[in-house]
């Protein structure tokens, strides 16, 4: 049989294997040597290949461009305009394989350079891909254009996608209908699989804006799930199940509910047949994710389906990987294409692991996290079996995602189990606690470690005083001390590398990434200490003293701003939760904290300002002189010309809140009558919602006590106060659950009863503010 452009004989199969190996090698070289070396060497070759009349060269040039994007990221980003304009021309190339390669390059760049790529080239790329998707005579090109569109929309900011929604939906619907007919008549499914995923990706990004298009797609999608039951259509059916659940999540419960019952029945039918599915059936992973999305949509109503879904989910989450210790000869007999990956151990030995099923296991574990999070006490029947599965998985070193899910599940499972009473909860915590602490000490991956530390901190907050025994404290103290010492050591090593003769921009980029990782771990050390201080109060201070000097080192003036920020945050917690005993450490942190109010870093100023606020609120008599000293410094920061600039606003709002706390809790430390008019003019706080609640509570105190300065002569300040309250509601600084919302509503009602004054206050508000006031009254 004559071989067409898309039919593979043995020669094309051999060339495909060689091509893939070449692309992988290019990718590794680019990542290993970096763009500074690789791009100048390869760019000229690629440009020559792209201008070659032989399609094979143009195809190879585009595939090479796709392969080097990750490794040459920084250098390619600088010339991205030129690259994209050139690549898009090849979407109209006479040869289909070149058009395929152009789609491949666009899809890869959409991932490698997101979201810059989407922001800069949305107009050109979307129109070009939609045009290429109309290539009915070359289904592989059509399918690959759809795949590139998926990559593009996944990382596209919602606001950028919305203007193209009508056009996108129209094209996708026309192609879906045509390809559905092709499936029925000819059995071809390649393009339909990708188009269904494209629809899902667009809906996922568009969210509620997809509601008008819901009825256009849902009947056809349900039809596919109902009828695509043949073995060769398993992937299409799985992708369609995914699409339906993503659309349901995007449009919300109200729009989806009329179809929810029918969709659930379709899923239940598939789930009933679950035991008959092969272990490698692609529907399994799609089903597991779809159930979790249905749980998010239906909320508590999903609980009734747990008996059906939990068995297969636990089975998948319990998959044990196949591992082997092999010599070189054995390894050569086992092909990586069979799903084995190998790590060379030296002495002609390798460790092999069969990776099949690991992604499914990770997904299943993440879905268990989702059920615990969404259903809370509704998941209580399953907490015991899930915790027994998850705790050992903290040491599952074959897959990072599994360990992350195991860590995430711990505080959520404790929340689920609360309804069973304190004894059951304590037993569950004892089962987790040792394993969590040990995992913090041994976890090799910084991203996973940060999740474990965060979850441990949440668990301590949930369990409270008494949840850690002396052995736990001893082990935890040693681990945290080790993390802080490692933090300082790593900084010294990075400084040494900056003096090395091989130091350049690329090395600096790597060092900055390492620094960001270290700082993130430092934030988690702070999280754990926060949870310990808030639970144990001053009782924990003797234990804390083993870490004291290391925390003091963090706030030294020569340290990087992130060190000083988090060091101050830790001392903020000491003051807030351990006062008045905290004052015995004042010699270590008070002077640096006051000096930090004027720091060049807004993050440091914010941490220092918060510290002054908690000094006033919780510190006690000993802190009075320092509150007095802080007031002019705080006012200076607030009144600076750039105080409301985006990078400064959070620090400024913390300063405003701190001034309010000093006036409220330590009025003897401030000239209250003099400061109050200024303080009122600085409100409301719009960015820091937590501090906004404090300021509104203080404002309520002042209004309810008929403070003459706040109300003004003959209540002349009330219109201004109304405007502050309305803006607080508009910016969601005041929420229904906040106690101050009721107090503020009462203030409004009192003015409402006064007639003329009410009219005067409301007349100064715009339409949005008036609606906000009405919403506040209705909610309270």
Q: Can you read off the two tokens belonging to residue 80? A: 């991205």
Q: Is residue 10's pLDDT more than 50? A: no
Query: Is 630 inside any structural domain?
Result: no
Query: Is 389 inside any structural domain?
Result: no
In this predicted structure, what is the pLDDT of residue 346?
65
| Residue 460 pLDDT level (bands cut at 50, 70, 90) | very high
Query: Is 713 inside any structural domain?
Result: yes
CA distances from 653 to 564, 566, 599, 648, 694 (A): 19, 18, 15, 9, 11
Which H helix or E strand runs over 547?
helix 541-554
Q: How far apart are CA 494 and CA 637, in angstroms?
A: 33
| Residue 231 pLDDT level (bands cut at 50, 70, 90) | confident
Q: How far apart are CA 665 and CA 576, in angstroms?
A: 14
Q: Is residue 267's pLDDT more than 90? A: no
Which H helix or E strand runs over 350?
strand 349-354
0.85 cut: is pTM over it? no
Q: Which residue has the higher pLDDT, 600 or 285?
A: 600
SS3 content of the chain, % helix, strand, coil (to 5): 80, 0, 20
- CA diameter of the chain: 97
Q: Which residues, 6 or more positions from 759, have their beta carbon under 8 angstroms from its beta carbon?
A: none
Q: Can you read off the two tokens belonging to residue 247? A: 């659309």
Cβ neighbours, 10 Å, residue 504: 11
The vertex-233 CA angle with 232 and 236, nearest 5°, equals 140
Q: Is residue 196's pLDDT more than 50? A: yes
Q: How far apart are CA 15 and CA 9, in angstroms?
A: 10
Q: Which has the minimum average pLDDT: 47-56, 516-525, 569-578, 766-775?
A: 766-775
CA distances from 374 to 203, 256, 267, 324, 735 (A): 22, 18, 19, 39, 22
In this predicted structure, what is the pLDDT of residue 505?
80
Q: Is residue 161's pLDDT more than 90? A: yes
Cβ neighbours, 10 Å, residue 150: 20
Q: What percent of the chain has pLDDT over 90?
A: 71
CB 638 within 8 A of CB 656: yes
Burial class (CB in 10 A: 0-12, 13-18, 19+), 135: buried
Q: Is residue 380's pLDDT more than 70? A: yes
> Which of 344, 253, 339 is closest to 294 using CA atoms?
253
Q: How far apart are CA 366 and CA 361, in angstroms?
A: 9
Q: How far apart are CA 772 and CA 725, in angstroms?
A: 9
φ, ψ for residue 350, nearest 5 deg: -135, 150
Query: Is 625 inside any structural domain?
Result: no
Average pLDDT on 217-228 reads 92
Q: Which residue has the higher pLDDT, 759 or 667?
A: 667
Q: Is residue 310's pLDDT more than 80? A: yes
Query: Is 339 inside any structural domain?
Result: no
CB 467 within 8 A of CB 460: yes
Which H helix or E strand runs over 484?
helix 470-498
Average pLDDT on 473-477 reads 97
Q: Which has the minimum average pLDDT: 498-512, 590-604, 611-625?
A: 498-512
In this predicted structure, what is the pLDDT of residue 15?
56
SS3 per-residue string spanning 176-216: HHHHHHHHHHHCCCHHHHHHHHHHHHHHHHHHHHHHHHHHH
In this predicted structure, what is the pLDDT of residue 343?
66
Q: Is residue 614's pLDDT more than 70? A: yes
Q: How far apart are CA 589 and CA 161, in angstroms?
A: 49
In this predicted structure, what is the pLDDT of residue 2?
32
Would the CA dihedral through 623, 628, 631, 633 be positive or negative?
A: negative
Burial class (CB in 10 A: 0-12, 13-18, 19+), 261: exposed
φ, ψ for residue 396, nearest 5 deg: -85, 85
Q: Can you read off the two tokens belonging to residue 68? A: 């080097």
DSSP 102-136: HHHHHHHHHHHTTTHHHHHHHHHHHHHHHHHTT-T
Query: Is 498 inside any structural domain?
Result: no
Query: In the chain, how many domains are there?
Result: 1
Helix/strand/coil for 31: helix
Q: Which residue has the higher pLDDT, 21 or 243?
A: 243
In this predicted structure, what is the pLDDT of residue 163?
94
Range of the domain at 765: 684-780
**DSSP state, 640?**
S
Q: Which residue has the higher pLDDT, 350 or 69?
A: 69
Mean pLDDT of the residues in the chain = 90
| Residue 36 pLDDT level (bands cut at 50, 70, 90) | confident
Q: Can you read off the two tokens belonging to residue 765? A: 């508000």
Give per-residue pLDDT as tens, 319-368. 888 777 777 666 666 655 566 776 666 666 777 777 777 888 999 999 99
In this predicted structure, what is the pLDDT of residue 272?
65
Query: Is 617 inside any structural domain?
Result: no
Q: Is residue 11's pLDDT more than 60? A: no
Q: Can you read off the two tokens belonging to residue 591? A: 């002077």
Query: Is 454 inside any structural domain?
Result: no
Helix/strand/coil for 737: coil
Give per-residue pLDDT as tens, 503-547. 888 788 889 999 999 999 999 999 999 999 999 999 999 999 999
CA distances from 608 to 192, 266, 604, 624 (A): 57, 57, 6, 16
């Amino acid at each position: 049989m004559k071989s067409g452009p898309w039919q593979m004989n043995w020669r094309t199969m051999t060339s495909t294997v060689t091509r893939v190996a070449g692309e992988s090698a290019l990718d590794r070289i680019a990542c290993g040597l970096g763009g500074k070396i690789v791009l100048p060497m390869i760019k000229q070759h690629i440009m020559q290949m792209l201008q070659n009349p032989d399609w094979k060269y143009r195809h190879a040039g585009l595939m090479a461009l796709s392969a080097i994007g990750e490794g040459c990221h920084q250098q390619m980003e600088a010339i991205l305009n030129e690259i994209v304009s050139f690549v898009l021309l090849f979407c109209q190339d006479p040869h289909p394989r070149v058009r395929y390669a152009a789609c491949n390059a666009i899809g890869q760049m959409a991932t490698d350079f997101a979201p810059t790529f989407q922001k800069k080239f949305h107009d050109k790329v979307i129109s070009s891909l939609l045009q290429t998707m109309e290539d009915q005579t070359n289904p592989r090109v059509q399918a690959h254009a759809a795949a590139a569109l998926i990559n593009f929309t996944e990382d596209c900011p919602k606001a950028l996608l919305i203007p193209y929604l009508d056009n996108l939906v129209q094209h996708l619907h026309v192609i879906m209908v045509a390809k559905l007919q092709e499936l029925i008549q000819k059995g071809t499914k390649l393009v339909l699989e990708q188009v269904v995923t494209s629809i899902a990706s667009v809906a996922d990004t568009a969210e509620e804006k997809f509601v008008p298009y819901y009825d256009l797609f849902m009947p056809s999608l349900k039809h596919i799930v109902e009828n695509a039951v043949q073995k060769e259509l398993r992937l299409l059916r799985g992708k369609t199940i995914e699409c339906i659940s993503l659309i349901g999540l995007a449009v919300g419960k109200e729009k989806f509910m009329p179809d929810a019952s029918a969709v659930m029945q379709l899923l239940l039918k598939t789930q009933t047949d679950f035991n008959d599915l092969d272990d490698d059936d692609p529907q399994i992973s799609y089903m597991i994710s779809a159930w979790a999305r249905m749980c998010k949509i239906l909320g508590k109503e999903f609980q009734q389906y747990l008996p059906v879904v939990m068995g297969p989910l636990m089975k998948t989450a319990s998959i044990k990987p196949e591992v082997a210790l092999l010599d070189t000869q054995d390894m050569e007999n086992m092909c990586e294409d069979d799903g084995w990956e190998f790590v060379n151990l030296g002495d002609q030995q390798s460790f092999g692991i069969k990776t099949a099923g690991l992604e499914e296991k990770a997904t299943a574990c993440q879905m268990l996290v989702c059920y615990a999070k969404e259903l809370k006490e509704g998941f209580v029947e399953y907490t015991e079996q899930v915790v027994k599965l998850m705790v050992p998985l903290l040491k599952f070193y074959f897959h990072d995602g599994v360990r992350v899910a195991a860590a995430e599940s711990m505080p959520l499972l404790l929340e689920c189990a609360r309804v069973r009473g304190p004894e059951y909860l304590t037993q569950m915590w004892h089962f987790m606690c040792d394993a969590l602490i040990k995992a913090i000490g041994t976890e090799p991956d910084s991203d996973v470690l940060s999740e474990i530390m965060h979850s441990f901190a949440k668990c301590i907050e949930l369990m409270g005083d008494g949840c850690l025994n002396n052995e736990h404290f001893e082990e935890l103290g040693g681990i945290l001390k080790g993390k802080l010492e490692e933090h300082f050591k790593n900084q010294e090593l990075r400084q040494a590398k900056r003096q090395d003769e091989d130091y350049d921009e690329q090395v600096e980029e790597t060092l900055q990434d390492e620094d960001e990782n270290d700082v993130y771990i430092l934030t988690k050390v702070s999280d754990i200490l926060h949870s310990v201080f808030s639970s144990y109060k001053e009782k924990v201070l003797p234990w804390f003293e083993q870490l004291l000097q290391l925390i003091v080192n963090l706030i030294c003036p020569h340290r990087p701003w992130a060190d000083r920020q988090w060091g101050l945050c830790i001392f903020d917690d000491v003051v807030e939760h351990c006062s008045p005993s905290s004052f015995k450490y004042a010699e270590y942190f008070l002077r640096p904290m006051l000096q930090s109010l004027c720091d060049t870093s807004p993050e440091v100023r914010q941490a220092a300002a918060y510290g002054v606020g908690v000094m006033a609120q919780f510190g006690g008599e000993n802190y009075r002189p320092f509150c007095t000293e802080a007031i002019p410094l705080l006012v200076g920061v607030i009144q600076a010309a750039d105080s409301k600039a985006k990078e400064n606003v959070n620090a400024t709002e913390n300063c405003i809140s701190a001034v309010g706390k000093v006036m409220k809790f330590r009025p003897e430390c401030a000239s209250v009558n003099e400061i109050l008019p200024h303080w009122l003019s600085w409100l409301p706080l719009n960015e820091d919602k937590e501090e906004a609640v404090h300021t509104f509570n203080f404002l309520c105190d002042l209004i309810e006590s008929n403070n003459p300065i706040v109300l003004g002569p003959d209540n002349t300040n009330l219109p201004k106060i109304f405007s502050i309250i309305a803006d607080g509601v508009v910016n969601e600084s005041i929420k229904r659950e906040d106690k101050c919302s009721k107090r503020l509503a009462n203030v409004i009602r009192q003015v409402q009863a006064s007639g003329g004054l009410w009219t005067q206050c409301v007349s100064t508000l715009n339409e949005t503010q008036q609606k906000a006031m009405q919403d506040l009254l209705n909610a309270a």
